[in-house]
């Protein structure tokens, strides 16, 4: 009989990659929160004190009319959010690089039964003019009816909307009779970048519903749907139908309390952002490295020669972003260290030197 020895680690705990902030572990304060919530019996499915405290926190962050619903993952939060806002004939406008468009396996279209209209953008950001241009087909039975605009904060390109950006999009969206969704899987990184409270660029700026991220900022399977306007009904039922109702919800809520009930969300995100800026500063002037996007959150995008990319990939894990033009993405996380960044920058320098030689 084969057994697994717990004394043999399944990974090198000292290793740090730059592929995704999802690759990082659980923040120690989140682990402590899970441990504190353990023991004894409490009601399941959200009828517990931790979940009620999390709802109170969300009202403190986003306003007194806010409702919040913990879920397992960001795709689930996005699907539920869109599902709640859409009529059966409704469509969604989003950036062509949006997670809902390229990285969720068609779940929004399959489960929320919608049509995504992907809008080309150079930096992952929609604008009021783009909303106006692509929100077309009103009353045309051959076209999905524009119902929702979805923006991502921070974007998949590592860029950030400021409050004026969001407010302008919200105004144009609402003037067209549509609703505004924000995919906030890296909302904390945007808050750290802007130096503003969460509500400044969400509820106060006109966002109707938010997918609130925790996993990319050090939590374990802990996200939430945050509703700014209670007239969006049916979310408790959609959460169950869309397979996102945690039975032992106290452990999800306890982590979200640890993150958003203190400055942990800002500390962790600000650290990840600073590591990305450090990485950029060390490599952007190297011959053979072309940084392609502003580094406003915790991502660095760059173009390298193909041979340099392959040499670098033998040392560190990271993702191609646009393989056709040699663009890669390097992500930093809450546990990335100065030494990690310095070593990676040295690896990049070595890969370029070997390639050019």
Measure the CA–CA gap between 44 and 248, rounded to whole angstroms.
5
Tens-place pLDDT, residues 263-274: 999 999 999 999
90 and 188 share one domain = yes
64, 35: one domain: yes
Strand order in the sheet with 67-71: 67-71, 223-227, 209-212, 179-184, 145-152, 90-95, 115-119
Mean pLDDT, rounded, for 273-293: 97
Q: Is residue 5 part of a domain?
A: no
How far is the C-alpha of 15 from the C-alpha of 94, rounded, in Å? 35
- Whether pLDDT at 6 is above 70: no
* Residue 226, helix vs strand vs coil: strand
Q: 112, 167, 169: which is closest to 144 by C-alpha?
A: 112
pLDDT > 70? residue 292: yes
Q: How confident is the model at residue 129 (pLDDT cuts 50, 70, 90)?
A: very high
Per-residue pLDDT at 1 exceeds 60 = no
Query: Across residues 92-108, what is the average pLDDT?
Result: 97
Average pLDDT (209-228) is: 97
Domain with 274 in it: what CATH number?
Answer: 3.90.1150.10
Q: Is residue 15 part of a domain?
A: no
Asked if residue 290 and residue 217 are part of one domain, the reply reads no
> pLDDT above 70 covers what percent of the chain?
97
| pLDDT digits 0-9 by tens, 152-185 | 999 999 999 999 999 999 999 999 999 999 999 9
The verdict on 215 and 306 lying in the same domain is: no
Give the pLDDT band (50/70/90) at residue 42. Answer: very high
- Same domain, yes or no: 268 and 237: no
Same domain, 307 and 166: no
Whether residues 45 and 129 share a domain: the answer is yes
Q: What is the DSSP string of 40-93?
A: S---STT-SHHHHHHHHHHHHHH-TT-EEEEES-HHHHHHHHHHHH--TTEEEE
- What pLDDT, on the 0 to 100 scale, is given for residue 7? 47
Q: What's the mean pLDDT in 139-162?
A: 97
Percent of the chain residues past pLDDT 90, beyond the cut: 92
Alpha carbon distance 139, 146 (integer Å) = 10
Classify residue 20: in a domain, yes or no. no
Domain containing 199 equals: 28-260
Q: Would you state the pLDDT for residue 5?
A: 41
3-state helix, strand, coil in the chain (%, to 5): 45, 15, 40
Between the alpha carbon of residue 245 and those of residues 26, 37, 91, 218, the distances in Å are 21, 18, 25, 21
The pLDDT of 303-325, averaged and rounded, is 94
Contacts of 300 (CB under 8 A, 6+ apart): 158, 276, 279, 280, 283, 291, 329, 330, 332
Statement to judge: residues 235 and 292 lie in one domain? no
pLDDT bin (cut points 50, 70, 90) of residue 230 is: confident
Of 219, 241, 260, which closes a domain? 260
Instruction: Give dist(CA 222, CA 249) in Å, integer.
Output: 10
Query: Does 2 reside within a domain?
Result: no
Q: Is the pLDDT of residue 278 over 50?
A: yes
Average pLDDT over residues 103-121: 96
Q: Is 328 part of any domain?
A: yes
Maximum Cα–Cα distance for the chain, whole Å? Answer: 66
Confidence of residue 3 (pLDDT cuts 50, 70, 90): very low
Task: Please tell me the total count of domains within the chain.
Answer: 2
pLDDT band at 9 (very low <50, low <70, confident <90, very high): low
Of the three residues 207, 226, 260, the one that is the final residue of a domain is 260
For the segment 237-251, the average pLDDT, to the nearest whole number, is: 97
pTM: 0.95
Boundary residue ending a domain (194, 225, 260): 260
18 occurs within a structural domain: no
Per the domain annotation, does 94 fall within a domain? yes
Q: Which residue has the higher pLDDT, 12 or 122?
A: 122
Does residue 307 belong to any structural domain of this protein? yes
Phi, psi of 261 (to 5 degrees): -90, 0
**Quick one: DSSP state of residue 199?**
G
For the cut 60, the answer to whether the pLDDT of residue 53 exceeds it is yes
Q: Are residues 300 and 330 in the same domain?
A: yes
**Quick one: 308 and 186 in the same domain?**
no
Mean pLDDT score, 198-209: 98
Helix ranges restricted to H, 186-300? 187-194, 235-241, 249-260, 264-283
CB contact at 8 A, 273 and 192: yes
| Shared domain check, 310 and 233 | no
pLDDT score of 4: 40
Name the nearest CA neighbour of 65 among 208, 220, 259.
208
| 89 in the same domain as 63 | yes
The enclosing domain of 93 has a CATH number of 3.40.640.10
Q: What is the pLDDT of residue 126?
A: 98
Q: How far apart are CA 98 and CA 104, in angstroms?
A: 10
Is the pLDDT reported for residue 357 higher than 50? no
């Amino acid at each position: 009989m084969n057994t697994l020895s717990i004394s043999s680690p399944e990974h090198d705990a000292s290793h740090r990659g730059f592929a995704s902030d999802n690759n990082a572990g659980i923040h120690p304060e989140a682990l402590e929160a899970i441990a504190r919530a353990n023991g004894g019996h409490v009601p399941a499915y959200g009828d517990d004190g931790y979940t009620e405290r999390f709802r109170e926190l969300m009202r403190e962050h986003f306003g007194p009319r806010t409702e919040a619903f913990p879920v397992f993952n960001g795709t689930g939060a996005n699907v539920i959010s869109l599902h709640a806002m859409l009529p059966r004939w409704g469509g969604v406008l989003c950036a062509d690089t949006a997670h809902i468009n390229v990285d969720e396996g068609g779940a929004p279209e399959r489960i929320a039964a919608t049509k995504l209209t992907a809008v080309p953008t150079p930096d992952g950001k929609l604008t009021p003019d783009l909303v106006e241009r692509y929100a077309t087909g009103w009353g045309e039975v051959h076209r999905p009816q524009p119902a929702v605009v979805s923006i991502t904060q921070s974007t998949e390109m590592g860029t950030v909307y400021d409050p004026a950006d969001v407010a302008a999009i919200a105004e144009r969206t609402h003037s067209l009779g549509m609703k505004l969704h924000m995919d906030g899987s890296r909302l904390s990184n945007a808050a750290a970048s802007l130096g503003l409270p969460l509500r400044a660029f969400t509820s106060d700026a006109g966002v109707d519903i938010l997918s609130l991220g925790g996993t990319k900022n050090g939590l374990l399977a802990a996200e939430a749907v945050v509703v700014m306007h209670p007239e969006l009904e049916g979310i408790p039922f959609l959460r169950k139908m869309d397979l996102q109702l945690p039975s032992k919800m106290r452990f999800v809520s306890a982590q979200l309390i640890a993150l958003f009930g203190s400055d942990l969300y800002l500390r962790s995100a600000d650290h990840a952002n600073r590591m990305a800026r450090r990485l950029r500063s060390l490599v952007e002037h190297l011959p053979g490295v072309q940084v392609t996007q502003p580094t406003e959150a915790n991502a660095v995008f760059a173009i390298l020669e193909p041979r340099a990319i392959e040499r670098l990939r033998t040392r560190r894990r990271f993702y191609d972003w646009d393989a056709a033009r040699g663009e890669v993405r390097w992500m930093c996380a809450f546990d990335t260290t100065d030494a990690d960044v310095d070593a990676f920058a040295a690896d990049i320098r070595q890969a370029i030197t070997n390639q050019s030689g």
